Amino acid sequence: MVLELLPLGQMLYRPGEQLTHAYFPTTAIVSLHYVTESGAVAETAGVGNEGLVGVALFLGGGRMPGSAVVQTAGYAYRLDARILQTEFARGGNMHALLLRYTQALMTQIAQTAVCNCHHSLEQRLCRWLLLTLDRCASEDLVITQELVASILGVRRESITDAAGCLEDAGYISSRRGHIAVINRSGLEATACECYAMVKKEVMRLRKVNV
C-alpha cells in the first residue's frame, strides 16, 4: 500500500476501464460520476476518509460504467487490485467491513437519486456542502462553482444563484475558487433529510459488530 498525493481533477478511472488499484482516501475527496452521451455530468456519490474507491474490484465486475475524479486534492492510500481481492477472499473482518461500506455507498447513491428528483437546488447544495465538510478538516473548501455545478448536474448560473441565497442568509461566504462555511447549523436547517439519512446510515454501519 502506497500513500499518494492526488491532485484536483485527477481521473482515477474512466467508464468501462479495467480497475487496477483501489484508493483509500485520507484527506482527498473523490467524486463518482456519470457522463451522458451529450457530455452532461452528475455525481452519484462522494468518497472520503470513510471509504474506498474501487468496490467493483471485490464485487466481481472489475469495471464501472462511471468515472472517479478527485474533487478535493489530498492524500490516499493506493492498493494493488490483486492484494485487495486476496484479502477479501479470506473472509473475516476485512470482508465484512468492505461489504458494510458497499451498503453505505449504495445508500448514498440511492439517496442522491431521490434528492435530485424531489428537492430544490438550494437543499441539494446544502447536502453536498455538509457531506463534503464531514470528509475534510477545513471549513474553507477549495472548489470552483463550475465544478460544483458539474457535480450537481446543473448550470453554473444556477449554482451562483443558490450559493448567493446561502450567502445572503449568512451561511457561507464565497470568493473565486473557495467556499467557506460560516454557519453550519444554518446549512443543516436548510438541507433536506437526505444529508441526515446518509450520515445516520454510515454511522450505524460503522457500529455493526463483525
What is the overall mean pLDDT for the chain? 91
The percentage of residues in the chain with a pLDDT greater than 90, rounded to a whole number, is 69
Examine residue 196 and state whether it is found in any structural domain, yes or no: no
Provide the domain count of the chain: 2
Cα 143 from Cα 131, distance rounded (Å): 14
Helices (H) and strands (E) in the chain, counts: 8, 10
Q: Are 7 and 108 found together in one domain?
A: yes
Q: What is the pLDDT of residues 54-108, one digit of tens each?
A: 999 999 888 888 999 999 999 999 999 999 999 999 998 899 999 999 999 999 9
Nearest alpha carbon to residue 105 among 81, 131, 125, 83: 131
Examine residue 124 and state whether it is found in any structural domain, yes or no: yes
pTM equals: 0.90
**Which residues does 140 contact at the CB level (< 8 Å), separation at least 6?**
178, 179, 180, 181
CATH of residue 94's domain is 2.60.120.10
For residues 28 and 76, the answer to whether their CB atoms sit within 8 Å is yes
Q: Are 42 and 127 found together in one domain?
A: no
Count how many residues are written for the chain: 210
CATH of residue 172's domain is 1.10.10.10
Examine residue 96 and state whether it is found in any structural domain, yes or no: yes
Examine residue 140 and state whether it is found in any structural domain, yes or no: yes
Q: Which domain holds residue 63?
A: 2-116+203-207
